Amino acid sequence: MANSQRYLIQATAVIGFFLIWKFYVEFFEVSRLVLPPPEQVFVALFELFATGEIWRHLYITLLECLGGFAFACIFGVTAGMLLGRNQMLDTVFKPFVIALQVTPKVALIPLFILWFGFGLESKIIVSAVLAFFPVFANTYLGARSVDHGLLELFEVGKASRSRRFAKLILPSSLPYILTGMEMAIVLSIIGAVVAEFVAGSSGLGYLATIKLQELQVSSLFAVVIVLALIGFVLYFLVGSLRKVLIPWHESSRPTTI
C-alpha cells in the first residue's frame, strides 16, 4: 500500500470517529455532563491554551514524568545489569524485585506523600517507581540474552570485565533496554498524573480534578487530550532513539515481510 493511500485511510478513520461521536451525542441526547460533543471539547482545548492556563500545569507534569523516567532508566538499567549478570545478586534480590512488581504501587502513593511531601519530589518518585519495572525487567532479559558464542569469544580474547561490559553486554542489551524505556515513558506519565490526583496543587492531573469538580466536562476532556498528546510525543521520541542507538538491529529496519 502506498504511503499516501495509507494516510488517506487513517485520516478517514479519524474523521469517521468524530462523526460517530457527534451523531451519538445528538441522536441519543446524551447529557453534556456525561459526554460533550466533539466541537465543545475542541473549543475547551483552544481556551486552555488561549488563556494560558495550561502552560504552568503542562510544565510541572512534564518535569515530574521526565524526572521519574530518568530515575527509572538509571536504576532500572543498573539493577537489571547487576541482577542479570551476577548470580549471587540475582538470588539475593530477586524476591524483593518480584515483591515490588506484584505490589500495586499506586497504593503506596499516600506513603510517598507522607515521606516526601506534597511537592514535586513525591510525584517524581511515584513516576519513577511505576516506570522502573519495565526498564529493569527488559534490561535483565537483555543482560541474560547475550550470545553465548560472543561471550566465549571475549573469554578466548582474555577481555577484562569492564571491557566486556562496555563492548559486548551493554550494546547487546540495548535493544531490550530501549523496549523497556518505551514502556516506561508511558508509565511515568501515568505515575505523575495519578500522584497529582491524590495530592497535587498543580500539574495536568490536578487540573483534571479541578475541571471535574467545576463540572466543566469539556475542559476535562481537553486535559485528557493534552495528556494523550504528551504521551504520543514522548513515546515517539523514545522510540526514535532506536534509529540513533541501534541502527544495526532488525527492529530498526522497515518491516517488509
Stretch of 116-124, 128-136, 205-213, 244-252 lying at the interface with other proteins (CB under 8 A): 244-252
CB count within 10 Å of CB 195 equals 31
Q: How far apart are CA 66 and CA 49, in angstroms?
A: 22
Stretch that binds other proteins, among 51-59, 116-124, 135-143, 145-153 (CB under 8 A): 145-153
Select from 30-38, 87-95, 152-160, 226-234 the region that touches other proteins (CB under 8 A). 152-160
**Shortest Å distance, C-beta 242 to other proteins:** 13
DSSP SS3 for 124: helix
Q: Among residues 13, 88, 102, 158, which is the contact residue for other proteins, using CB under 8 A?
A: 158
Contact string (CB under 8 A) for other proteins, positions 165-204, x = contact: --xx--xx--------------------------------
The verdict on 254 binding other proteins (CB under 8 A) reads no
Nearer to other proteins, 26 or 152 (CB): 152
Cell, residue 224: 485528557
* Residue 162: partners with Cβ closer than 8 Å, 6 or more residues away: none
> Burial of 201 by CB count in 10 Å (0-12 exposed, 13-18 middle, 19+ buried)?
exposed
| Span of 55-63, 76-84, 138-146, 163-171 interacting with other proteins by CB under 8 A | 163-171
**Is 156 a binder of other proteins (CB under 8 A)?**
yes
Place of cell 479541578: 210
Residue 241 as a binder of other proteins (CB under 8 A): the answer is: no
**Residue 251 binds other proteins, judged by CB under 8 A:** no
What is the biggest distance separating any 2 CA atoms in the chain, rounded to whole angstroms? 75
Contact characters 53-72, other proteins, x per CB under 8 A: --------------------
Q: In terms of Cα–Cα distance, which of 218, 161, 197, 217 is closest to 46? A: 218
Q: Are 130 and 188 in contact (CB under 8 A)?
A: yes
Alpha-carbon span 9 to 99, nearest angstrom: 45
Return the number of the residue (175 or 191) whose C-beta is nearest other proteins: 175
Distance between CA atoms of residues 192 and 227, nearest Å: 11
The type of residue at 229 is L
Footprint on this chain of other proteins (rule: CB under 8 A): 147, 149-150, 152-160, 163-164, 167-168, 171-172, 246, 248-249
